[in-house]
A and B are shown apart, each in its own frame.
Chain A
Amino acid sequence: NAGVTQTPKFQVLKTGQSMTLQCAQDMNHNSMYWYRQDPGMGLRLIYYSASEGTTDKGEVPNGYNVSRLNKREFSLRLESAAPSQTSVYFCASSEGGGGQPQHFGDGTRLSIL
């Protein structure tokens, strides 16, 4: 079972470049999430999508945009990358919202030079 698939696994960007992180889930889950994980700071929610067609800001949305392309796919875009966005990015999904357990992808390790 694939679960949650993230691409790419690694990426190096220069300051000011743009890129899109892709995420797809095959569990027919309604809710999807994007987090960033930095040393000593746990997981911080960037954006989430409670259901297809809706997106909402999380704790740290500045500098990011998202698109819920369909029920399976939820992408995260950095329009103008900054060194402060160097992090490991995780996509997750859950059957519903309401604090239901989340299933995570293996992450995208992003470095901004």
Chain B
Amino acid sequence: TQLLEQSPQFLSIQEGENLTVYCNSSSVFSSLQWYRQEPGEGPVLLVTVVTGGEVKKLKRLTFQFGDARKDSSLHITAAQPGDTGLYLCAGVSSASKIIFGSGTRLSIRP
């Protein structure tokens, strides 16, 4: 069974600080997706990374796919209260199945 572990599980930081959250597995994925979920809503896709070593930027968010395509990270620069939410990574297996991690709950204090 493929598993995706996300760390930390919870993170609370001050506005303006930088942070990194991680998504790790022992399995290789053909691609990896990052979603953000706000309270009372469904997850919304932020980005998909496909190539090992790929880096994608979305304003203050930087996503990286590991060289071996087993892990990924999300770095937020100068966090804002609007970044608060649950961040989910989802790996796509070679059999085209999507597996979700358990998420990192991020809280940004004004």
Residues of A bordering B, CB below 8 Å? 4, 35, 40-45, 90, 92, 97-99, 101-107
Question: Are B31 and A99 in contact, with the CB atoms below 8 A?
Answer: yes
A101 to chain B, nearest CB (A): 5
Q: Which secondary structure dominates where chain A touches chain B?
A: loop
- Within the assembled complex, what's the spacing in Å between the Cα atoms of A54 and B5? 31
Is there contact, CB below 8 Å, between A4 and B42?
Answer: yes
Cβ-defined partner of B102 (8 Å) among A35, A41, A101, A107:
A41
Q: Are B96 and A43 in contact (CB under 8 A)?
A: no
Which among B9, B92, B98 has the greatest number of chain A C-beta atoms within 10 A? B98
Number of interface residues of B (CB under 8 A): 22
Assuming the A-B contacts A97-B96, A99-B97, A102-B98, are A43 and B43 also in contact, with contact meaning beta carbons closer than 8 angstroms in the complex?
A: yes
Q: Binding site of B, secondary structure by majority: helix, strand, loop or mixed?
A: loop
Pairwise interchain contact B98-A42, C-beta atoms closer than 8 A: no
Chain B residue numbers with a CB within 8 Å of A43 are 43, 88, 100
| Bound-complex Cα distance A4 to B45 (A) | 14
Asked if A40 and B43 sit within 8 Å, CB to CB, the answer is no
Other contacts beyond A42-B88, A92-B42, A99-B31: 8, CB < 8 A: A42-B101, A90-B42, A90-B43, A101-B33, A102-B45, A104-B44, A105-B42, A107-B42
CA distance A102 to B96 in the complex (A): 13
- The yes or no answer to B51 lying at the interface (CB within 8 A) is no
The 24 listed contacts between A and B (C-beta, < 8 Å) are A4-B42, A35-B100, A40-B102, A42-B4, A42-B100, A42-B102, A42-B103, A43-B43, A43-B100, A92-B42, A98-B92, A98-B96, A99-B97, A99-B98, A101-B45, A101-B48, A102-B43, A102-B98, A103-B45, A104-B44, A106-B40, A107-B40, A107-B41, A107-B42
